[in-house]
Amino acid sequence: MRKLPPLNSIRAFEAAARHQSFTTAAAELSVTITAVSHQIRQLEARIGHKLFERTGRAVTLTPVGKAIYPILRDGFDQIAQAFELVNARANEDSIQISATRAFAERWLMPRLSQFNAIHPDITVHIHGSEKAVDLRADDIDLAIRYGTVETDHRESVILEDCYIAVADRGICPEDRIPTIEDFRKRPLLAYKWENRALNAPDWSAWLALVEHDQTVDFRISWYSEEMLALYAAECGLGPLMCSNVLIDEELRTGRMRRIDGPCLQGFSYRLVEMSSPRPKRGLRLFTTWLREEARLFRDRSAVSD
């Protein structure tokens, strides 16, 4: 068992020797000058040697102090490096993901437990945001944005969606594929887009491609947000035309059903990444998993279409 002087005394000596000042050492250690002086006297008494020569306010190392200071300095440096390695590893396994709120809630969250099961040591932090992202300034590792992206970072398309008409299974006929005629007594749900730069598909474009009774004057019920309209559709308030990406989980489980009709071209979901020769481990694993999940979605969507 090592017999060492008190650690506080060693720290006080190392700081005072490095700064050649009790005052500066006290400020670094957040203690009083008197406390530093006391700790050093305690250390000198323990080893039986003076460590500093004191001349007024100035202090200089004695020969014994000069002999042990470099060894202690290197020891503290090694301790600091050890904890830096721990922090670096923790940073490698912690990732910050920014995604549009709808994508995060409707597509990413239902799948995230799979990633957690495969990589339980990776901590994923999700930030819901629609705004343009500056990865460095916002301290984000990876962003997922919809439509056009203005960025200086590297970007790539991960998914392309299309717009389909869907309805809660509770208001759909059970014995056949629902048609728009089944909802003539219900309002068509719609929402206002936050991103005015995107010319989103709407009910008029969809209805123009579907055979239906032209005498029916379908009512539109407007919602201020996409997520509100999706929730309204899930509550059986009426059919909704929305992105097949955002309704994927509900269609797979049968909670929602697709209404017979076209799939109108939508936009792209894009990954925004920093160009790095060596991205951290957690980010590499997450990006690989995300791309594979996107591929599986595309393959399944191609078959269902």
Cα separation, 62 vs 130, in Å, equals: 63
Render pLDDT for 259-299 as a digit per residue (tens, 0 to 9). 999 999 999 999 999 877 677 899 999 999 999 999 999 99
Render pLDDT for 208-258 as a digit per residue (tens, 0 to 9). 998 876 766 789 999 999 999 999 999 999 999 999 999 999 999 999 999
pTM of the model: 0.67
Residue 106 reports pLDDT greater than 60: yes
Render pLDDT for 6-31 as a digit per residue (tens, 0 to 9). 889 999 999 999 999 999 999 999 99
Cα separation, 151 vs 302, in Å, equals: 30
Q: Domains of the chain, with CATH numbers?
A: 7-86 (1.10.10.10), 90-304 (3.40.190.290)
Residue 43 reports pLDDT greater than 70: yes
